[in-house]
């Protein structure tokens, strides 16, 4: 981040997040190191990488059938795919690619509609589903409206009902506090996403800043995922070291998707995974389960 950007946009949560990523330094540890494995075990399945697609939506402005192309790329890289807001036809087309997909459903005001979307996602064969609870309000304190669809915040009781309505793992996205981490556990969530939804509010804490506190609350009971600002294998490593089980990459795959479709997505995932493996080899971590926070050092000022 340039000094000019920090001066002009001190409120920008995405710039703050990037600055925090860059404030984290990594020790090198070479003695007894081995060729590392980047394989991820998640919900009883094995993937080649902890780098997943973000819960994006409406990518036809990036390339034709953008969401389906992203899924094809994730499948080719043996990575977890996520899908955000989209109609039922699109969700069916995404899962038909063979990509193991997690479908995140918006907090629609109409709970009956949410239950119907859960049922449809199940019929399509998603591996898990969930809700981005941070998309409930506009910046003016009123309920959010997304593409004409009315949203509404959900209570703990409502979240418990959504969790109980499906046999699939239910994931709560938009957890950025210890308070919500406790409530996610109480709701019966089988995973959380630590995220500020690409700066949905100004001056939000960077996900990696709050991640160690959230990880302490979760205490390995359910998987923790992180998104927002992941652009390299080094970013992935820092998130894993501070408590994440896997991460989601979103905007970093937009240009490869635009240029080369699914091949570009696959190549970007593989490139970042190789970068991650390189850091793991030079820090003496043989697999994802052994990465731990003592390897991270902080610059002065944080």
Residues 6+ positions from 184 with CB-CB distance below 8 Å: 159, 172, 175, 192, 222
Distance CA 75, CA 94 (A): 10
* SS3 assignment, position 25: strand
* SS3 assignment, position 34: coil
Residue 1 has pLDDT above 70, yes or no: no
φ, ψ for residue 242, nearest 5 deg:
-95, 5
How would you label 51-61 residue by residue, b for 16+ Cβ within 10 Å and e otherwise?
bbbbbbbebee
pLDDT more than 70, % of the chain: 97
CA 44-47-53 angle, to 5 degrees, is 110
Residue 4 has pLDDT above 90, yes or no: no
- 128 or 87: whose pLDDT is higher? 128
Q: Residue 256: is it exposed, middle or buried by C-beta count within 10 angstroms (0-12/13-18/19+)?
A: buried
Query: Do 57 and 83 form a contact (C-beta atoms < 8 A)?
Result: yes
- pLDDT, average across residues 59-86: 96
Tokens 């998987």 correspond to 223
pLDDT, residue 42, reads: 98
| pLDDT tens by residue, 175-216 | 999 999 999 999 999 999 999 999 999 999 999 999 999 999
pLDDT, residue 300, reads: 76
* SS3 assignment, position 88: helix
Distance CA 24, CA 13 (A): 17
pLDDT band at 281 (very low <50, low <70, confident <90, very high): very high
Q: From the CB of residue 191, how many other CB atoms can be counted at a distance below 10 Å?
A: 23
pLDDT, residue 8, reads: 81
| pLDDT tens by residue, 136-151 | 999 999 999 998 999 9
| pLDDT tens by residue, 15-33 | 999 999 999 999 999 999 9
φ, ψ for residue 259, nearest 5 deg:
-80, -40
Residue 2 has pLDDT above 90, yes or no: no
Query: Do 24 and 243 form a contact (C-beta atoms < 8 A)?
Result: no
Residues 6+ positions from 189 with CB-CB distance below 8 Å: 130, 159, 163, 170, 171, 172, 222
pLDDT more than 90, % of the chain: 94
- 3 or 94: whose pLDDT is higher? 94
* Tokens read off for 30: 């070479």
Distance CA 162, CA 155 (A): 11
**Closest CA relative to residue 296, chosen from 221, 285, 13, 287:** 285
- Angular region, 227: left φ>0, alpha ψ -120 to 50, beta rest: beta
Residue 7 has pLDDT above 70, yes or no: no
- 286 or 4: whose pLDDT is higher? 286
pLDDT band at 117 (very low <50, low <70, confident <90, very high): very high
Domain ranges of the chain: 42-276
Residue 237 has pLDDT above 80, yes or no: yes
pLDDT, residue 5, reads: 61
Residue 268 has pLDDT above 80, yes or no: yes
Query: Do 293 and 103 form a contact (C-beta atoms < 8 A)?
Result: no
Distance of CA 130 to the CA centre of its chain: 12
Tokens 């610059």 correspond to 299
pTM of the model: 0.95
In the CATH scheme, what architecture does the domain 42-276 have? Alpha-Beta Barrel (3.20)
Distance CA 91, CA 125 (A): 10
Q: Residue 145: is it exposed, middle or buried by C-beta count within 10 angstroms (0-12/13-18/19+)?
A: exposed
Q: 296: which strand partners? A: 26
- 1 or 126: whose pLDDT is higher? 126
Active site positions, annotated: 197
- pLDDT, average across residues 232-237: 98
Helices (H) and strands (E) in the chain, counts: 10, 14
């Amino acid at each position: 981040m340039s000094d000019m950007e920090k001066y002009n946009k001190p409120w920008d949560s995405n710039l703050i997040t990037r600055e925090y990523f860059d404030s984290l330094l990594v020790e090198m540890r070479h003695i007894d190191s081995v060729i590392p494995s980047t394989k991820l075990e998640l919900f009883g399945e094995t993937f080649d990488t902890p780098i997943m697609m973000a819960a994006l939506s409406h990518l036809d402005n990036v390339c034709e059938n953008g969401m389906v192309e992203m899924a094809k790329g994730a499948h080719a890289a043996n990575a977890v795919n996520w899908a955000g807001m989209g109609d039922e036809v699109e969700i069916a087309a995404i899962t038909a690619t063979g990509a193991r997909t997690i479908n995140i459903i918006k907090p629609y005001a109409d709970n009956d509609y949410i239950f119907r979307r859960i049922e449809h996602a199940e019929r399509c064969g998603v591996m898990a589903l969930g809700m981005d609870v941070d998309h409930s309000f506009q910046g003016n304190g009123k309920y959010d409206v997304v593409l004409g669809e009315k949203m509404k915040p959900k209570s703990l009781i409502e979240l418990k009902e959504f969790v109980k309505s499906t046999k699939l793992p239910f994931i709560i996205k938009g957890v950025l506090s210890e308070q919500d981490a406790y409530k996610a556990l109480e709701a019966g969530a089988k995973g959380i996403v630590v995220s500020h939804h690409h700066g949905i509010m100004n001056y939000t804490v960077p996900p990696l800043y709050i991640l160690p506190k959230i990880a302490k609350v979760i205490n390995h009971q359910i998987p923790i995922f992180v998104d927002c600002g992941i652009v390299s294998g080094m970013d992935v490593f820092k998130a894993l070291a501070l408590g994440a089980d896997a991460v989601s990459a979103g905007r970093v795959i937009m240009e490869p998707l635009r240029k080369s479709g699914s091949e570009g997505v696959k190549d970007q995932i593989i490139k970042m995974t190789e970068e991650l493996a390189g850091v793991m080899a030079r820090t003496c971590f043989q697999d994802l389960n052994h990465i731990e926070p003592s390897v991270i050092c902080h610059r002065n000022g944080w």
